[in-house]
Structure 1
Amino acid sequence: DLDSNDETNCMWLDCNYTATSLVVLAKHVCFHGYHLRLRNIGENVLERVKLPKCTQITPLVVPNIDYNCEWENCGHSFLAVQDFHDHIKLHVNSNPKYCKKGEFIECYWAGCKFKFTSQYKLADHMRTHTKERVIACPTCGKMFATKTKFYDHRKRQLPLELQSYQCSQCSKLFPSERLLRDHMRSHINHYKCSMCDMTCPKPSILAQHIKYRHLNERPYKCNLCEHASVTKANLEQHLTTHCVEKLMICDECNFRCRSLYGLDRHYQTVHGQGCSQLYECHCCQSRFSRGNYLTRHLIKVHDFHWPSGHSRFRYKEDNDGIFRLQTVRYESLEVTQEMMRGNKCPPLPNSVKYNIKQEENSKIPSYVLMICETGEENVVCSSDKKIAITIDDLDEKGNVVRSETVESNEIIRAPENVRCLRSRSQSSK
C-alpha cells in the first residue's frame, strides 16, 4: 500500500535509511537501482580501458527530490529516477538531429532560453537541469555526467611520482596533458571588474573583489565595539582582539599567543618545526621571511608599482622552494581588448554611492552602474531589503560551472543628476 504513512526501513545492503512512507521508500529504492546500473556501466568501461585504481570512499547520498518535468506545457511527475530521464529523452528526441544554417533548437525548460545547433548538444545541456549521470565509479560509487569526467576521476589518483605533466606557473603535477591544459586556464584572467582594471581568472575572485573594494556593506557587526566586517570569518578574527586570554598554546613549551601566524612563527624559530617560507628579490637577490617585507623592498628600493587594478604583488614558488615575484600575467583576448579600448574608470571617492539600473528593451539582461556626481545624501540610498549580485562562470556550452553571489542592501534608483560609468551585459544576474 503506497499510501501508508508508517515508517519503513530500506533493506538495501549497507543502507540505514528510514522512510516516512512507502512512496518515499519506493523512490529511494529506485535510486539504488539506478546507481547500481551506473556502477555496472563503470565496470564494463574498466574492462576495456586500463585506468588507475580508485582508493577513495564516497558514501552514497540518495537525493530527496521530486522528479518533475519542467518542460514547457508538460508537468509530468515520476516516482522512478530512470523513468524521469527516459521521459526527458522524448522531449530531446522530438527535435531534428542537426539544424540547417541559421536555425536553432531551443531548450524549453522553465527559465532557460539557451539555443543549440544539434540534438546531441541539447541532450548534453539537459543534464544541467535533470542532474542525470551516465556512469559511476564501481569502487567508490561516485557518479559522473560524462565518461571523460570518470576517466579524470581515476587518473587523478595516479601516484604523484608517475604524474609527468607539470604546470609552468604553479609547478603542480597532472597525470595527462588534457588535465594540465584545463588547469592552465585557471591562470588566465577571463574576468575584468567593470569599476576598475582588476582582472582575475574566476568569478569567485571577482565577487570577493567587488565585495571588499567597491561595496560599502559590512553586515557583520561586533557587539563589543563599533567594528564591522565584510565576512563572518573577518569578524571572528577581530573578536580575538577582545579576548584577554591568549588562546593559541604551544605543545612544546609554555608559549601562548593570539594568532595562528604567531604560533607558526614560534614553532619555526624556537622549535625548528614547520616549513619556513623564503622570499627573494629577483633584482638584487635580497631575501625576506615574509611577502610584505619583499613588497615594501620592491616599492622603496626598486620603485616598483602594483599592477593596474590590483592592490598587491603575487609571488610564485620556484623549483628551489623560494618565492619570487610573478612577473607574467595572462589575460584572455576579450579582457585584453576591453582594456585596450580604454574603458578605465576614474578613481572613485570614498563616499561614493552606487545605483545599479537595468536597461529596458534588451533581450539579454543588461545593467548600468551609476554614481552620484553631486554627493547629495538623498540621491542614492539603501533600503532594508537584501539583494544578491550573482556572477556565473559558463563553459563553452553555456553550462554554469561555478557561481558566486555577493549580498548587499537594495539601492534606490538615482534621479537624472547621475553619471553613467559603464554598461556591461551579463548572461545572468
Structure 2
Amino acid sequence: MPRKLDLRTGQPVWSAYRAPAVPTDGLTRDVKADVLVVGMGISGAMMAEALTADGHRVICIDRRGPLKGSTAATTALVAFEIDQPLSTLSKMIGRASAQQAWRRSRLAVSNLAGRIAELGINCGLSRAPSLYLSGTILGPSELRDEAKARRLAGIAATYLTPAPLAETFGIDREGAILSHGNIALDPRKLTAGLLLKSLQRKARFYAPVEATVIEDSAEAVVVATRDGPTITARHVVLATGYELVEIVPAAAHRIISTWAIATCPQPRKLWPDAAFIWEASEPYLYMRTTIDGRVICGGEDEDFVDEARRDELIADKSTRIAEKLGLVFPHLDTRPDFAWTGSFGTTTTGLPYIGAIPRHPRIHAVMGYGGNGVTFSQIASEIVPASINGLEDTDARLFAFNR
C-alpha cells in the first residue's frame, strides 16, 4: 500500500545525543480507538499529543518504530521562513494568502516553543537571530524587497548592508535579512517527549505494524495490517512523511534528496550569537550550531529519489558542503564528524498539504513539508485536531488538498 522509501542513510548527528526510549507493544488482536495515527515521527508525535490533550483515545502505529523514519534526518532548524520567499509566494497564490501563510508559520514556531515549555520537554531548545544571505536567487535589491514585503505582512525584518553584516556577524556578503523568533532543537528528543506525554494520557503504541488497506465508511475507518489484526477508528491521520499512502493524491508533490554534515564541537570558533544562517541560492545552503558547539550544515538538494544514487553521493556532497561552509567561515574546522542524507516531499508553492483527503472526510493526511518539517508539523497538529473536533481552523483552506 505505501510507496516504501528508505528515508535516510549515513549517521545523523542526533545519534550522538541519547533520546528517551519510547515503549511499544506488538499488535496481536483487533483494536478500536477514536483516532489512529499512522507514523511515529515528529508529525505523528505532535498529532498524538494534541489529540490526547483533547481527550481522544489514540492509537499510533509505525512500520519501523518510533523515531526511526526521517525525523532523525532533519537538521531541526525550526524556522518560520517558508521555502518560497514571501515576495515570490505572493505572485503564486496572491498577496493576502501568502502573507497569511507566513504569519501562521511564524505563529507556529512561537506556539511550538510555548508547547515545549508547558510540557516540560527537554530537547535542547535554543534561540538565535537568523540571517538570510543574498545569493543566486535573491540578490541585494530583491532581498530589500523581501524585507519590505515581510514588514508589510507584520513580520519584523531588517535589511543589513555589507558593513553591519561584516561588523556584527563576521560575514562577507552583499546583503542579508536579519530576523528573530526561530528556534533550534534536538528532533529525536522532542519526538520522544511528545510520544511519552501521549502515553501518560493512555495512548497505545504498536510497532512494528504496517497498514496495508484503508477502508472508510460514513461512520468509521477500518485499517488492515500486514500481520492480520485490524484497527477501527472514527478518524485516521496519515503522518507517514514522504512515504505517501496510495489513497493520498500525489498531485504537485515531488521528492527531493538532501545532504548534511556536522563538524566536531568547536564552541570557541563559532560566529557571533551562533545565528541561524541560510542562503537565497539554488542549491541552497544553511547552517546552525548545536548546544555543544558543533556546526550543522546542509543543502545541495537534488530533485530525485533513487536511494542508491543518493547514498553514493554522501562523500561528494559532504566535501562540497564542507567547502561551502569554509568559504563563509574560513576559521572553522569544517571536516565532517557526521554525514547523512535523507529525502523529503515538497510542493511547488512550498506550502504543505494538511487536512481531510478529498471524498474521504474521516481520513486526514499531512505531506509536502519541504524544508519546514517541524514548523508545518506544528501547524498540522493545530488544524487536524480542530477538524476532528468539528471546528474549522481559520487557515485550513491555505493548506487544504483542494486549495
Name the TM-score class by shorter chain. Answer: under 0.3
Task: Answer 1 or 2: which has greater strand percent.
Answer: 2
TM-score, normalised to structure 1's length?
Answer: 0.18
Instruction: Report the structure, 1 or 2, having the larger helix content.
Output: 2
* Larger-gyration structure (1/2): 1
Structure with more contact order per residue of length (Cα contacts < 8 Å, sep ≥ 6): 2
